[in-house]
Structure 1
Amino acid sequence: MSRKRVLVAMSGGVDSSVAALLLCRQGYEATGTTCKLFGNDDLEGSACGIGGGDPDSGIVGESTCCSSRDIEDARQVAFSLGMDYFVFNYQGLFGREVIDRFCKEYLCGRTPNPCIDCNRYVKFDALQKRRRQLDFDYVATGHYARRTYDEKTGRYLLKCGLDPKKDQSYVLFHLTQDTLEHMLFPLGELTKPEVRELAREAGFDNAGKSESQDICFVPDGDYASFIERRYGHTFGSGPIVDMHGKVLGEHRGIDRYTIGQRKGIGVAAGEPLFVFRKDAETNTLVVGTDSETRAATVRANDVNLISVASIDEPLRVTAKTHYRMKAQPGWARIEDHMLVMEFDEPQRAAAPGQALVLYDGDTVVGGGTIVSA
């Protein structure tokens, strides 16, 4: 029988490199690919050249991804494993579906997650289309997640990675049954130290490579300046008000703040204040105390269900409203095509634009994009 063919998404980092290594050892016919996502045209005016960086990609610093250095690192690993290797140019797609979406969401006062959009529209959707065109059986990535098949329901399941510190199931809630059928996650049962050790044993130069911590196209973290350079528009100063509408001070532009933020608001108070809402229409920043800014009910649209075909009655689950939080218990239901989560205890920092992801133990039930809390 012919070997199964797999297209391995390789970022140049240690995770995707070890994913490729494991697939080769397991007998797959693996081909490496890196997605070129942006260049100077996409990042016009970005801090190119500051602190080292790659002049070709317009990216700076060691914590970014998708630079020419990363492409070379991926190429070296692929060649060392005897794999074919290709670079696919998705700059236009990335600009439309990730960068522009990110900017527009921020200008509407929401807090988008560009990594989820990148996974959804580029690393999975586009690569799955390329898989079909090239007649491959699977696409594989270095995400810390697991895929299984439930014989009773006939559905593919997305499960948490076994390393709780690295589990990335939250950013994969959008995966469909068709996509999961043709996905492989070789690192799902490994820890990060184990992955690095495998890379060292294989002699990979990137075994000790640091991880990307920032949004790749805004490496300095200054979202407002990036949006202003790209769109020629940003928010000016405006009022900071409490939950009752009392003016407490003046903000520097609501796009410079995130929901749940505590430090750097610029208002002195008897107890810590947190950002609760950003009103783009009135350019107003609403803040409140910890208890005031918590919400028990979270609503999300753009719903995708994985472990179940539908939610016809309230379902007991745990849920996350942002990546780092511990999943909290409550009841989920579908109401007017919206996913509604009623937490047992009010939660803070449920930001419109972020993801609401439901879990049944270590299995992802599904999720959606937060609209309100």
Structure 2
Amino acid sequence: MQTFVGSSLSKDAKAAVAEATKGLTKPNMILFFSNYDMLKDITGELKAAFPDVPTIGTCGISYYDKQAGDNKLVVVGFGSDAKVKVGVLRFLSTAPLYDIMGLKDAIKEVAPGDKDTICLEFCTNDEERLVTTMNVVLSHAKTALVGGTVFGVSEGKKALVAVNGELYEDACCFAVIKNTTGKIRTYSENIYRLSAHSKRHIATKVNIQTKELVQMDNKPAADVYANELGVSKSQIVDNVLENPLGRILGDEVFICSQYGMGANGSLINYKRFNENDTVSILKLQDYQEVNDETRNKIKNENPKISFVLSINCIYRHMLFEQKNHLGDFMNDMGSLGKHVGVVGGGEQYKTQHVNQTMVCAVFE
């Protein structure tokens, strides 16, 4: 697929758009990431410069050209061999089905083929509800969902997504993208796994609204976690980079990051548990080895890579910074080919909202 990538560190929106899009001509779609405080102006300038081009974007830390930061604008242009339809799903917290016909029409117009189409999205909130809603349409079209939760919002401000020059809160921006000259394959990477001695627990009491795991095996969740790992309850939240919780569904493990503890010994997470879910405490693996496995799989399955778009969880980003691994990670991802990444506050992959995961789309 034909793709263009440009960037700018300019703090002036007009100059940043001019620099980042220099050489970009007649794109079929634009994807962008910018600093939150510049998001409104960047959205307007891109609309002015490319008034008829479908565009989605948001704020956040981006990875490009072996650099990570939230102080720059990154623009991705998709060429003439991309068949694209963009849209927005509003009212995620109250009526996520409100705009579902827009997604249905987008799928119909793009007409997905065999492993050549994805639905890329970025959302502000209510991820589980969003994933369920979108898969009402995507599952029938056999189109994989790849996305992230907006991260990098200025303190006290609301998360926003941009679609065709307009900003939305309580919403999801999406792009149904078909590669007419090759495949688009999707991948997820989990550097936390069950150990050989991992215990399995049952979520016996939950609060879905607050994403609290209240009890495991009829005992306060914090007590079960602390006793199993031999840590104090005050250490549980800070221990998330080493030992997050996992929701077990069959042979699959989905990470649920704990970020708070309730007064009753509950654990508050970024992904919800349902009652009777199987829960385990996961263990950090050799992340370099896992990274190598992921890249080798991507290389083996995609002999002609033209572009890689990744969404890396903020907790992985923090871990890699602490371990001085972030530079190696970006260099390794760049070895696959042209690569742009963004840091998410959560990730969406196929039928699940997940935490502490990398998801990516690989374009032939």
When normalised by structure 1's length, the TM-score is 0.28
Kindly indicate which of the two structures has a greater share of residues assigned to strand: 2
Which of structures 1 and 2 has the larger relative contact order (alpha carbons within 8 angstroms, sep 6+)? 2
When normalised by structure 2's length, the TM-score is 0.28
